[in-house]
């Protein structure tokens, strides 16, 4: 009887190990963002440099938005003209007033909040010799990982997306679906990263070179909007 019990215990442990491995594989597969380009990738485009500066202000991508005076300070512009530009952007459907806010606050229109223009700006905070993840950018922008797929779409679809090779999967793996504009794949992505100083142990980027969401957000809040 004892031998039978021990045999059953070994069988149960082996099955447990098998299912544990399967679960790990399924979790890893779920972390691979789908880079298929679709209508979710939208970039608000203003008329002229000043409107584009306003659209790039980080606080406008939040639900609470910003006061006109704060937008003016962010782009080093005077209040009345900033208000006029915001009104023009509102008329064009690019920004909206925050309902019930007093004094008045502004934010990007719903379809543009936490989308491509914001992802691009956040990705630009990753420097040579560093990497981040789809999830880190999503958290830095909106506080959760729900936009990770949108980050992948924007990185794949937009020719001017800053250094898409620096955005990796959780754990530091290169997305197996990664492609550049010339259809070069993950091997080329690794070459680019290594040429910039990112180190790899087998297929894993050095965790010490990762820029996490909190550091991305800190940089985004401290670095000025370019003229």
Residue 59's CB is within 10 A of a number of other CB atoms, namely: 17
- Return the closest-CA partner of residue 164 out of 33, 31, 42, 46: 33
Tokens describing residue 194? 């290594």
Q: Within a 13 Å sphere around the CA of 180, how many CA atoms are in the beta-carbon half?
A: 17
What domains lie within the chain, and their CATH numbers?
49-112 (1.10.10.10), 116-222 (1.10.10.10)
Enclosing H/E stretch for 132: strand 132-133
| Cα R_g (the chain), whole angstroms | 22
Note if the pTM is more than 0.75. no
pLDDT band at 58 (very low <50, low <70, confident <90, very high): confident
Strand partners, 107: 96
Instruction: With cut-offs at 50, 70 and 90, classify the pLDDT of residue 166.
Output: very high
Of the pLDDT bands very low, low, confident and very high (cuts 50, 70, 90), residue 24 is very low
Q: Determine the pLDDT at residue 37.
A: 40
């Amino acid at each position: 009887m004892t031998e039978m019990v021990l045999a059953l215990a070994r069988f149960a442990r082996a099955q447990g190990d098998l299912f544990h491995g399967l679960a790990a594989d399924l979790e890893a597969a779920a972390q691979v963002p789908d880079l298929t380009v679709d209508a979710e990738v939208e970039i608000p485009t203003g008329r002229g440099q000043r409107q584009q500066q306003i659209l790039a202000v980080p606080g406008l991508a939040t639900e609470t938005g910003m006061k006109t005076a704060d937008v003016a300070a962010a782009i080093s512009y005077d209040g009345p003209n900033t208000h006029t530009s915001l009104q023009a952007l509102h008329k064009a459907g690019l920004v909206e007033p925050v309902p019930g806010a007093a004094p008045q606050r502004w934010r990007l229109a719903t379809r543009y909040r936490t989308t491509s223009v914001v992802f691009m700006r956040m990705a630009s905070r990753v420097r040579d010799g560093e990497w981040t993840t789809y999830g880190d950018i999503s958290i830095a922008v909106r506080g959760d990982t729900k936009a990770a797929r949108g980050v992948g779409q924007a990185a794949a679809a937009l020719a001017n997306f800053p250094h898409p090779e620096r955005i990796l999967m959780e754990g530091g793996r290169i997305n197996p679906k990664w492609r550049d504009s010339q259809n070069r794949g993950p091997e080329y992505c690794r070459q680019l990263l290594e040429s910039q100083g990112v180190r790899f142990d087998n297929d894993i980027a050095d965790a010490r070179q990762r820029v996490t969401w909190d550091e991305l957000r800190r940089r985004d809040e401290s670095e000025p909007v370019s003229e």
